[in-house]
Amino acid sequence: MTVAVVDSGGANISSVLHALGRLGVEPEFTHEATAIRKADRVILPGVGAAGHAMEVLARYGLVDVIRSLTQPVLGICLGMQLLFESSEEDDAAMLGMIPARLERLPDREGLRVPHMGWNAIETTRADPLTESLDGNWFYFVHSFAAPTGDWTLATSRHGQSFSAVVRRDNFSGAQFHPERSASAGATLLWNFLEMPQP
């Protein structure tokens, strides 16, 4: 199996690559359209700002490439957010596979933003991506969050409920960092690698 990890200018690349390596996968970190199109699985990682990430994808000519992919795609953290239509962060227009806008988490007494730390997820419907993961704890670092909708596979909570895992057609995403979430994170990555072609 070939796995392409997209160079979107994020900062969590080495940990993603190592997590995949522990699962027996040798991923290719790339911004080459041909390699991304040919891969059996594509991972869109990201730590940073939505506007900058979209600028990087545009610079490499990857916006339409990613939109046109038909194999399973997994966005991680900011990579998941990029699958949505837009974000309050930078007022960014994003890839648009999921028709919703991300908003900043509530910043009120007793809640820290960014949300950093371990949270449990609650699955909302059965899906191969989240199999065996209901109630498991994952490591989150984010200031903006996706609303829930028919794309939501699992939710978590920080002042409000938000989408922790999403999927629409072949595009999936995890708001948390599976590569930093111990055995539960490894299970999610393995589930993604084993997902059938849509």
Q: Name the nearest CA neighbour of 90 among 98, 99, 102, 77.
A: 102
Instruction: Tell me if residue 77 is catalytic.
Output: yes
DSSP strands (E only) in 126-193? 137-142, 144-145, 152-157, 161-168, 171-174
For residue 136, give both structure tokens: 């498991």
In this structure, what DSSP letter does residue 54 have? H
31, 77, 89, 158: the catalytic one is: 77
CB-count burial class (<10 Å; 0-12, 13-18, 19+) for 122: middle
Q: Name the nearest CA neighbour of 172 among 135, 131, 118, 117.
A: 131
Instruction: Tell me if residue 179 is catalytic.
Output: yes
89, 115, 158, 179: the catalytic one is: 179
Instruction: Tell me if residue 103 is catalytic.
Output: no
- Count, in order, helices (H) and strands (E) of the chain: 6, 14
CB-count burial class (<10 Å; 0-12, 13-18, 19+) for 33: middle
CA distance 69 to 57: 14
- Active site residue ranges: 77, 177, 179
